[in-house]
Each structure stands twice: as C-alpha cells, then as structure tokens.
C-alpha cells in the first residue's frame, strides 16, 4: 500500500501543508505584536524580535538542514524538525516572561526548514523548468495560509487573547507530524550524498555566478516582504489607526497577490523559462512600490492604496520566487538541498536584517514613506540580480 511505502514521493498536498505550517508560524500573531509587548511589559522593538530574530535563527537552521537532508534524506529530517517545532510551541504557550517566550520562539524557527525540504523534494523528482512550475503550485497552496493567518490571528486575539494563536500552532504541529509520517516517502536516491562528497562538490556551487544571481534575486524579492512584515503591524496601528483585526484583513492582500502570481507561474514557467519569469515578477513588484512612493509624496497613500500596492508586489513575488528557487537548485541538482538551504539562508538573513532596519527607520512618528522606501530599494536590487544572470548566460552562450 502507498500509505505504508516509505519510498513513495509525497503528494503535493503534503508539501503544501508542510510549508503552510511554517508560514502560519511566522505570521499568525503579527496583528498581536503590539498587544503582546504590552502584556510582557516590553517595548515593541523587543517583541518584534519574535519576527526579526526568528528569521535569523531560521536562516541558520536552513543553512545546516540543507546538507543534512542531502545526506540522510528529506523524510527523517522533516519528521525531526516538525517534532521540535511542536514541542517549542507548547513551551512558548506557557512562557511566563518575554525572554522565555522569545527563547521558545527561536526554537520554533526550525519549522522554516520545511521550505528548503519541500523545494528540494520537488527538485529531486523533476528537472529545472518543470520544478519551477511544481514549486509554483506548492507555494500557490501555501500562500493561502499567510493570506488567512493574520486574519485568524487577529480574530483569535480579539476573542480569546494572543495565546490562542499558540494553541493553533501546537495543534498544527501534531497534525503535520502525522501527515508526514503517513505520506512523505523518501525522494533522495541512493541513500543520500555523503558529507565528503558534498565538500568536494560545494566549491563548484559557490563559485557559480548563476547560483548567486538567482539567490540574490530571490533574497531581495523576498526581502521587500520581510521589511513589510517588520513595519506594517505598527504602521497599521499608529499611522492608519487600524485595529488588530483590521490589520489582519489588510494583510490578506499581499498573500492573495502571491497566490495569483504562483498560479501564473505554475501555468507558464515551463513555457516561458525561469529567467523571464523572474524578470517579469521582480519588475512588476518594483513598479508597484515606485507608485506607492509617489503616492506617499503626494499625500495620497491611505491604507487601502498602500496594502493594495503591496498586494501587487505579492503577484510579482509569486511570479519570480518559484523560478529563482528552481534556478539556484539547477546549478548542481545533486546538491539540491544544500543549494536550497544556502539560498534560503541568504533570503532569510536578508529578511531579518531588513525587518530590524525597517522597525528602526519607521521611527517614533511611524513613517509610511520610510517603510515603502526600504521595500522599493530591496525590490530594485532583485531586478539587478536577475539582469546579472541574463548577462552571464549571454557571456557563456547558454
């Protein structure tokens, strides 16, 4: 029976839910951050570490997990990280202080490695352009979670308090562990690539300018969203006067855009090619943020226009990120986990830095313009990085 066959590749729904729980862990209590800071008696900047420092820890975890999964396989590593996440969720639930909560939160960050593991599992079984299409469909389903996560989080906060969000995460961890155990068969062929073999192949990967071009484009494109995560809750409350529930509703717009972009990527990535998809997506996001900057300068940037334009950047990221991630893994397919982990480390490390920078730059008066400017600069860099890939391909004649 397929249910018991541990060599059967996972169904796409399993990969969707694996990454979906990771996305939920990141954003479900975003609307609650100001209230959580008040509950623990700390500044917003301290509680915002639940996002920025969480991202930094997850970046380190993904750097380590990628090579481990190339050696031992995707299945056992996924089961391990989901188990750790579940235990950390229960620990955070009963944390008495901000310090203990943040410590448990940092351990929770291990679940972010399911992004790496799911992408690598796709790349294990299908080639580059087709992998971009499959990854698009995986992240299309995953994008539903961040679209509704802040909405659910805001409603749970209003009805039961912010700890209700942690009960949801703990229950999600238990359910995901059971699903992975039942369905996620191994996709790494031949028992995995030994660490010595990885060490010999690793220099080829890190010397590849195409790998760095795809990775930098993905990191900068995602960076605009992490900057948004770092500043939007406070901007929503202080600059626009929104309640936590209203912030949650508006947070659905970029996730809806990401869903649309992923659907288009799933349909057309194989036909158009990875590089064109990345360029189209990064250019669209940058143009949307340029429009937001102009609207801010003109005094026209209200909450609906701001969050709608960020929704357009979600479409752009939905177009670009599946192909950029498939591109970085196509350089050395036998190191798909390592490449995915290294690229994710760069992406999330950049995101953590931008999240913290944004929290500082929006200032005491909470400047929407400063938040938009950081997002625009990050998006513009993603365009430059993919143009570098085009240049290298022309230079190499490929």
Structure tokens at 81: 């990280």
CATH number of residue 130's parent domain: 1.20.1250.20
Residue 22 has which token pair?
């990771």
Helices marked H in the chain: 12-27, 33-40, 44-47, 49-72, 74-93, 98-108, 113-125, 128-142, 144-160, 163-183, 195-206, 209-234, 244-272, 274-297, 303-330, 336-361, 368-396
Output the pLDDT for position 5: 46
Number of C-beta neighbours around residue 298 at 10 A:
8
HSE of 100, CA atoms in CB hemisphere, 13 A = 9
**In a domain? residue 349:** yes
Which residues are CB-contacts of 24 (< 8 A; sequence separation ≥ 6)?
Answer: 145, 146, 149, 168, 169, 172
List Cβ neighbours of 303 (8 Å cut-off, separation of 6 or more): 236, 240, 242, 250
Q: How far is CA 75 from the centre of its chain?
A: 21
pLDDT in tens, the chain (398 residues): 344 345 677 888 888 888 888 888 887 877 788 888 888 888 877 887 887 778 778 878 887 887 888 888 888 999 999 999 999 999 988 888 888 999 999 999 899 888 888 878 887 777 656 777 777 777 766 666 766 777 788 888 888 888 888 899 999 999 999 999 988 888 776 656 666 766 676 777 778 888 899 989 999 998 888 888 778 777 877 778 888 778 777 877 887 888 889 888 878 877 888 889 999 999 999 999 999 999 989 988 888 899 999 999 999 999 998 888 888 877 777 677 777 778 877 877 777 778 777 767 776 566 788 888 989 999 999 999 999 888 877 776 66
What the block records as the tokens of 77 is 């590593």
Taking only the tens place, the pLDDT of each residue in 192-219 is 666 676 667 677 777 888 889 998 999 9
Q: How many domains does the chain have?
A: 1
Measured torsion, CA atoms of residues 279, 284, 287, 291, in degrees rounded to the nearest 10: -170
Is 226 domain-assigned?
yes
Domain that holds residue 124: 12-396
- Asked if residue 4 belongs to a domain, the reply is no
Residue 3 included in any domain: no
* Cβ 217 vs Cβ 385: under 8 Å: yes
In a domain, 5, yes or no: no
- For residue 7, being part of any structural domain is answered with no
The model's pTM:
0.72
Cα–Cα dist 216/275, whole Å:
13
Backbone angles phi, psi at 93, to 5 degrees: -60, -35
Give the pLDDT confidence score for residue 366 in this predicted structure. 66
Cα(237)–Cα(357) distance, integer angstroms:
19
Q: Is residue 140 part of a domain?
A: yes
- Rounded Cα gap, residues 15 and 243, in angstroms: 34
Query: How far apart are alpha carbons 120 and 62 in whole angstroms?
Result: 12
Cα dist from 161 to 85, 230, 301, 376, whole Å: 22, 22, 31, 35
Query: Is residue 1 included in any domain, yes or no?
Result: no
What are the tens digits of pLDDT across the range 110-147? 998 888 888 788 877 776 567 777 777 777 666 667 66
Closest CA to 76 of 160, 156, 231, 185: 185
Q: For 328-365, what is each residue's pLDDT tens digit? A: 877 777 677 777 778 877 877 777 778 777 767 776 56
**DSSP one-letter string for 194-218:** -HHHHHHHHHHHHT-HHHHHHHHHH
């Amino acid at each position: 029976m397929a249910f018991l066959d541990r060599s059967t590749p996972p169904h796409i729904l399993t990969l969707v839910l694996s990454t979906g729980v990771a996305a939920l862990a990141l954003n479900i209590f975003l609307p609650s951050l100001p209230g959580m800071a008040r509950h623990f008696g700390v500044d917003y900047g301290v509680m915002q570490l639940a996002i920025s420092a969480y991202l930094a820890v997850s970046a380190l975890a993904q750097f380590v997990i990628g090579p481990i999964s190339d050696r031992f396989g995707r299945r056992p590593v996924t089961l391990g990280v989901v188990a750790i996440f579940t235990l950390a969720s229960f620990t955070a639930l009963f944390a008495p202080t901000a310090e203990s909560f943040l410590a448990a939160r940092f351990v929770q960050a291990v679940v972010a490695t399911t992004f790496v593991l799911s992408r690598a599992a796709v790349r294990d079984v299908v080639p580059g352009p087709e992998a971009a299409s499959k990854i698009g469909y995986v992240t299309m389903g995953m994008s539903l979670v961040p679209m509704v996560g802040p909405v659910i989080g805001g409603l749970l906060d209003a009805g039961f308090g912010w700890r209700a969000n942690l009960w949801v995460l703990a229950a999600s961890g238990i359910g995901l562990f059971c699903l992975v155990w039942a369905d996620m068969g191994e996709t790494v062929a031949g028992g995995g690539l030994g660490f010595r073999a990885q060490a010999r192949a690793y220099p080829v990967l890190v010397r590849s300018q195409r790998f760095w071009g795809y990775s930098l484009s993905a990191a900068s494109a995602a960076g605009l969203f992490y900057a948004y995560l770092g500043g939007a809750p406070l901007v929503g409350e202080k600059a626009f006067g929104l309640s936590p529930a209203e912030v949650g509703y508006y947070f659905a717009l970029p996730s809806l855009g990401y869903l649309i972009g992923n659907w288009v990527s799933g349909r057309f990535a194989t036909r158009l090619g990875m590089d064109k998809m990345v360029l189209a997506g990064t250019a669209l996001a940058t143009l949307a943020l340029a429009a937001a900057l102009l609207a801010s300068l003109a005094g026209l940037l209200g909450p609906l226009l701001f969050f709608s334009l960020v929704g357009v950047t979600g479409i752009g990221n939905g177009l670009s990120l599946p192909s950029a991630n498939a591109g970085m893994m196509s350089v050395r397919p036998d190191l798909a986990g390592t490449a995915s982990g290294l690229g994710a480390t760069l992406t999330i490390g950049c995101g953590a830095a931008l999240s913290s920078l944004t929290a500082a730059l929006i200032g005491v008066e909470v400047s929407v313009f400063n938040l938009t400017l950081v997002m625009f600069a990050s998006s513009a860099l993603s365009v430059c990085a993919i143009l570098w890939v085009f240049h290298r391909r022309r230079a190499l004649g490929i």
